[in-house]
Amino acid sequence: MKVLYRLRKADYQAYLVGGCVRDLLLGYEPKDFDVVTDAHPEQIRAVFRNCRLIGRRFRLAHVHFGHEIVEVATFRGLNNEDGEGDRQQGRDGRILRDNVYGTIEEDAWRRDFTVNALYYNIRDFSVVDFVGGMEDHSAGILRLIGDPEQRFREDPVRMLRAVRFAVKLGFTIHPDCAAWIPHLAHLLEDIPSPRLYDEVIKLLMSGYAVQTFEQLRHFHLFGALFPETEECLAQEAEDFPLLFLAKALDRTDERLQQNKGVSPYFLFAALLWEPVRTQAKARIAAGDNDVFAYQEVSAEVINRQVRRIAIPRTVSLTMREVWMLQPRLERIKGVRPFKLLTHPRFRAAYDFLVLRAETGEADPELADWWTRFQSAGEAEQKAMTREGGTARRSRSRRRGPRKPRVTRDA
């Protein structure tokens, strides 16, 4: 409100627009508020002291209020000839830059979905609608403004946004738009990888990961984002892959619902686990040491994936730790389990193992052994590591040499 009134006082137009208007009309609390105005970025900066201009592809102003940021954009115009500023479009029709300014009505036509092009006018508390957004909003329809094919080609990320909003709002993607998605899904390959990382986080860390995942697969978008995982899911040889990932996503949704934190590394570790697991399995079958196999395969899978989705290094390093601890969790004799308990990623790796066990991909007895081991007293722990516990694998490997070491520790 402060931003809107301040702009008005400076004789500019100012509206709330986009997601916040759409969500308020549904009775949801908006995640953030986007303001749009006829003031140009430099003029916006002149009105607010606490203002920073950001973005090259889409230049806009961030007005800071303590921790809060209100995004203020200038009305976008329709084409280069009439408007000032610059718009750059690739040969494939993709919009690379969009800094042509125009009127509110032109701005409406530049937006993605009709329900995202509603403007709230503080002057008379009305909603301004140029594109039939109110009608679609009441009917629960997500419809691209203009020609769907062209609008998806201009910015293929709109396909991901369609899925995200459809799931979040419980809306239906209009058939004329939905029909194009499987045909154009491959265009995501040309999107800069950092932008796709941001989108994937929004898609899968907003509390609707399970449904979103299903829809992404339905529209062939998932394979464009995670080709190696999609390949595993398509094979589904042992019936495990789909279960594990779905379960991991379900857990993510559950945690968000309980206001518990979720970490991108756990999510991405789950998303890429199938390719890592199957490729490591093949290497181990060919004679590689298991820990070494996981180490190598983890690096390879990540290197290929980051070309598409720019997973930050801090995230990918932790993902690798979680993966590489999986074979190590199978060694439950001697001092190793004690050492593993102190590993900074032990808890995450254990949670990961439990999830694998719950979906039948890892040995439930092994997961159970670790559960008991953590809550056991010192003496019991010693006994568990001496016997090798009840986990299947270690029983067959019962050999002598470790025993004295444990006794010495005792």
Alpha carbon dihedral 151, 155, 157, 158, in 10-degree steps, equals: -20
- For residues 90 and 360, which CB has a smaller minimum distance to ligand ATP in the complex? 90
* Cα 409 to the center of its chain, rounded Å: 45
**The residue count for the chain:** 410
Per the annotation, the verdict on 32 as an active-site residue is yes
- Asked if 186 touches ligand ATP (CB under 6 A), the answer is no
Site for ligand ATP in 15-34 (CB under 6 A): 18-19, 31-32, 34
For residue 144, the SS3 value is strand
Per the annotation, the verdict on 112 as an active-site residue is yes
For residues 268 to 297, the per-residue mask of contacts with Mg ion, x marking binding by CB under 5 A and - elsewhere, is ------------------------------
Please tell me the distance from the alpha carbon of residue 322 to that of residue 145, in angstroms, as a whole number. Answer: 44
265's tokens: 């590394």
Q: Could you tell me which residues come within 8 angstroms of residue 106 by beta carbon, excluding any fewer than 6 positions away?
A: 75, 76, 77, 78, 83
For residues 292 to 331, the per-residue mask of contacts with ligand ATP, x marking binding by CB under 6 A and - elsewhere, is ----------------------------------------
CB 332, CB 385: distance < 8 Å: yes
- For residues 111 and 277, which CB has a smaller minimum distance to ligand ATP in the complex? 111
Which residue in the list 38, 98, 107, 112 is annotated as catalytic?
A: 112
Please tell me the distance from the alpha carbon of residue 237 to that of residue 16, in angstroms, as a whole number. Answer: 50
- Asked if 157 touches ligand ATP (CB under 6 A), the answer is yes
Interface region with Mg ion, contact rule CB under 5 A, candidates 3-11, 13-21, 81-89, 295-303 = 13-21
Please tell me the distance from the alpha carbon of residue 153 to that of residue 187, in angstroms, as a whole number. Answer: 8
382's tokens: 């010693």
Please tell me the distance from the alpha carbon of residue 42 to that of residue 26, in angstroms, as a whole number. Answer: 34
Residue whose tokens read 């137009």: 13
- Asked if 199 touches ligand ATP (CB under 6 A), the answer is no
Nearest distance from residue 375's CB to ligand ATP, in Å? 41
Per the annotation, the verdict on 250 as an active-site residue is no
Among residues 103, 224, 95, 223, the alpha carbon closest in space to that of 150 is found at 95
Please tell me the distance from the alpha carbon of residue 273 to that of residue 139, in angstroms, as a whole number. Answer: 40
- Asked if 21 touches Mg ion (CB under 5 A), the answer is no
| Total residues at interface with Mg ion (CB under 5 A) | 2
- Asked if 19 touches Mg ion (CB under 5 A), the answer is yes
- For residues 89 and 374, which CB has a smaller minimum distance to ligand ATP in the complex? 89
For residues 158 to 177, the per-residue mask of contacts with ligand ATP, x marking binding by CB under 6 A and - elsewhere, is x-------------------
Interface region with Mg ion, contact rule CB under 5 A, candidates 30-38, 73-81, 110-118, 201-209 = 30-38
Q: Which residue is nearest to ligand ATP (CB)?
A: 19
Residue whose tokens read 């004295």: 404
Nearest distance from residue 142's CB to Mg ion, in Å? 15
User: 119 pairs with which residues across the strands?
Assistant: 17, 128
Nearest distance from residue 91's CB to ligand ATP, in Å? 19
- Phi, psi values for residue 366, rounded to 5°: -70, -45
Q: Could you tell me which residues come within 8 angstroms of residue 148 by beta carbon, excluding any fewer than 6 positions away?
A: 176, 177, 180
Please tell me the distance from the alpha carbon of residue 286 to that of residue 284, in angstroms, as a whole number. Answer: 5
Contacted entry of ligand ATP, Mg ion, none for residue 112, CB cut-off 5 to 8 Å set by kind: ligand ATP
Which residues are near Mg ion by CB under 5 A?
19, 32
**Which residues are known to be catalytic?**
32, 34, 112
Which residues are near ligand ATP by CB under 6 A?
18-19, 31-32, 34, 111-112, 116-117, 155, 157-158
